[in-house]
Amino acid sequence: MKPFPFLILFSLSGAVLAQTATPTKKTPTQLQEIVITADKESPSLTVPSLEARQEQIAKSVPGGAGIVDAEQYKRGRSATLKDALDFAPGVLIQERFGAEESRLSIRGSGLQRTFHGRGIWLMQDGMPLNLADGGFDMQAVEPLTSRYVEVFRGANALQYGSATLGGAVNFISNTGYTADPIQGRFEFGSFNTQRAQISSGFVSGNTDVYASITASHTDGFRDWSEQESFRVFANIGTKLSPNLENRFYITYVDSKSQLPGSLTKAEMESNPQRAAPGNMIPTVAGGAGFQERNYRLLRLADKLTYSDGGDNTLTLSTFWSWKDLNHPIFQVIDQLSNDLGFDLRYDGKGQLFGLQNELTVGTGFMYGVAQDNRFFNIGGTRGAKVAEYKLQSTNLNLYFQDQLHLTDQLSLIAGAQVSYVTRDLNEENLFGGVNPPGQFTGLPNLVNNSDRFEAWGFSPKLGLLYEADKQTQYYFNASRSFEPPSFGELVPFGASGLLPLKPQTATTLEIGTRGQRGRVAWDFSYYYAWVEREMFATGVAGGPTTTTNAGATIHQGIEFGLNADLLRNLTTASAERYDRVVLRQNFLWNNFHFNKDAAYGNRLLPGVSPIYYRADVMYEHPCGFYVGPTVEWSPVKYAADFARTTFADPYALLGLKIGYRTKKGVSFYVEARNLTDETYSPTTSVVKNATVAGSTNVFLPGNGRSFYGGIEFRW
């Protein structure tokens, strides 16, 4: 496929940059009024305003970081994390089969993981949604309840106690101050998709309340891909005094997902809607089948913030979650887990060596315990119990970050995190008796075992931030990341004890710029990471994945987000209320490869496209109307196995969006996706060799042509 969409869009944005590099005096004055002098002070001490966070990130983060305004993704289908994060610079997110669960990766984090994410700190209002072992569930987030989303790539998430290669994604909630008193949203579309949300926010005296209920259902594009979810989210903020506020959070999730599984390339090309043979119907009598992932989550959290009325705040966050998982796959996994933790953080401004200085100091603790029982999967139901596990996780972090303003324009940012983690396993394998036909054989009769993983990590960071002007920053940073394995990597199948894994670490250099010039806003980063002991989760023929530590690998890439007004005043003549044609894009270049590996040399890592491009070009009228095409483009094939025998093909998806959005009253949208009905695989499983029997089914087909519509009422 010729790269004409990519070249045309970049040529247009380049022309706009050239024309607006020296804007008129009138234009920057307007932009400053919008960006700089807007109402940045949030009525809430615990939840900062969008404008305040935009300015704070621009002035304090010497690396890749940005904000996604929820109003942008609410102009179309807003059902999954991909819908919310697809235009966040640096984020690669691909649905497995149109599902809420996706491959979520930043800078190659969790690269081979297509389920139950890791390598990123997923957060809500600065509090982790990850379980204590580091894993997280995409279904725990309801994008419609957020006011905006913060994305901190790599070590730029240190201020939240994250030291992973990927960084952190922080969903900032609506409150009674920011939400509408009455709001209802209804979405519908292809594959019998139905989704509804009702919410309300109000303020009464010193108390504000926000509550949302969301229910959704879809039959799915593929056979055996039905999904249902029910979510309740609420937070209650109380100002105990002018300088002290408490906010209490309640989250309940009931999620049910059928798992259609991976296909061979031939199966996908002949019928991408089919389910994998063993996922829907058992391949042999009594064998595994009817695979699903169903779970319920209850999460309670509390955030107490004290401000001295100036630039110093102290925040105590506490959280507890209860999760009940029923997961028929190669076995039936029945897991009940409880996780709790706290984070104590100080943010302050003062003087150091006579220079302006800003300091963040914090400590976080998490503890989790899970009872994990395994059963033979007999057509989706539980057979004989084969194993019992008791899993315990502990995380303790101490972190700080300091920004010293060397001049009015140049800042030095230094920080570090010390981490201590443990993973404890007590297991009893009960493999006595006869295995059902088609189930795994050759297993021990009875094993009682305890095992422990323990590690320390040190993650320093040093960066420079230069403000060329109030709207333009240039930055450089060097950092060290630390990621211990979760139980998803540590617990093997059919063997006793934990796998002998070591933490994944990396040293990363980053340089880039972000800013705004007239009609153009950009976010550009280049990074180069030397990764040590990268954790690779690869599929095993006829069974689950297994994880190993690789040798040395290299992750380098470019993250480039761009918003550009290509044209203005097509049908209007106002300098303040103008219509426009605006380009929005997210471009990723991913160059991840082995570094002089004994078996693979400098071979590219499988499972990720070297280039990913997402863009839309919208005509927007000041009345709220918008219309325009969308494109998702992956122009380079990539391997699905380490042996590089099987490749995912390039693809280009064309869509169309039309709608009307207003702050009060009735809004609507209609969206078409994959208009050419292309058969493609947006993501794959990863195996060692896809030509080996039992390992050839690695492709996860994307949705075919689909149409969605929604209507929203706000009063």
Q: Is the pLDDT of residue 494 over 70?
A: no
Buried b (16+ CB within 10 A) or exposed e, 217-235: bbbbbbbbbbbebebbbbb
Q: Residue 540: give its domain's CATH number.
A: 2.40.170.20
Could you say which DSSP state residue 156 is in?
Answer: G
Place of tokens 């071979």: 603
Question: In sequence order, what are the beta bridge partners of 573?
Answer: none
With bands split at pLDDT 50, 70 and 90, how would you rate the model's confidence at 519?
A: very high
Q: Which of 656, 585, 650, 631 is nearest to 10 (CA)?
A: 585
The DSSP annotation for 244-279 comes to EEEEEEEEEEEEEEE----B-HHHHHH-TTPPPHHH
* Confidence (pLDDT) at 24: 41
Token pair of 120 as six digits: 């990123």
* Confidence (pLDDT) at 23: 40
By DSSP bridging, strand 121-124 and strand 167-173 are parallel
Largest CA distance in the chain: 82
CB 147 within 8 A of CB 172: yes
Least confident span in 171-185, 228-242, 333-347, 369-383? 369-383
Residues in the chain, total: 715
With bands split at pLDDT 50, 70 and 90, how would you rate the model's confidence at 162?
A: confident
- Tell me the C-alpha distance between 326 and 263, whole Å: 24
pLDDT tens digits along 78-99: 999 999 999 999 999 998 877 7
CA angle 404, 90, 508 (to 5 degrees): 55
Q: Is the pLDDT of residue 386 over 50?
A: yes
CB 224 within 8 A of CB 262: no
Question: Of residues 118 and 355, which shows the higher confidence score?
Answer: 355
Least confident span in 438-447, 511-520, 597-606, 642-651? 438-447
- Tell me the C-alpha distance between 323 and 296, whole Å: 6
* Confidence (pLDDT) at 492: 78
Rg, C-alpha atoms of the chain: 25
* Confidence (pLDDT) at 47: 96
Question: In sequence order, what are the beta bridge partners of 272?
Answer: none
Place of tokens 């292809």: 190
* Confidence (pLDDT) at 690: 92
Indicate the pTM of the whole model.
Answer: 0.91
CB 468 within 8 A of CB 522: no
Q: What average pLDDT is seen over the chain?
A: 90
Q: Where are the beta strands (DSSP E) in 471-551?
A: 472-483, 504-517, 520-532, 535-539, 545-549
Strand (E) or helix (H) holding 684: strand 683-684
pLDDT tens digits along 210-220: 999 999 999 99
Q: Is the pLDDT of residue 13 over 70?
A: no
- Tell me the C-alpha distance between 449 and 625, whole Å: 63
* Confidence (pLDDT) at 117: 87
Count the neighbouring beta carbons within 10 Å of the beta carbon of residue 21.
10
* Confidence (pLDDT) at 27: 37
Strand (E) or helix (H) holding 338: strand 331-352
pLDDT tens digits along 570-580: 999 999 999 99
pLDDT tens digits along 390-439: 999 999 999 999 999 999 999 999 999 999 999 999 987 665 434 444 45
* Confidence (pLDDT) at 430: 65
* Confidence (pLDDT) at 14: 41
* Confidence (pLDDT) at 543: 60
pLDDT tens digits along 127-160: 999 999 999 999 999 999 999 999 999 999 988 8
Whole domain around residue 409: which residue ranges?
4-714
- Tell me the C-alpha distance between 260 and 96, whole Å: 10
* Confidence (pLDDT) at 2: 39
Q: Is the pLDDT of residue 294 over 50?
A: yes
Mean pLDDT over 290-319 rounds to 96
* Residue 32 Rama label (left phi>0; alpha psi -120 to 50; beta): alpha
Highest mean pLDDT among 152-161, 305-314, 621-630: 621-630
Least confident span in 24-33, 369-378, 442-451, 667-676? 24-33
In the chain, the number of structural domains is: 1
Could you say which DSSP state residue 570 is in?
Answer: S
* Confidence (pLDDT) at 496: 72
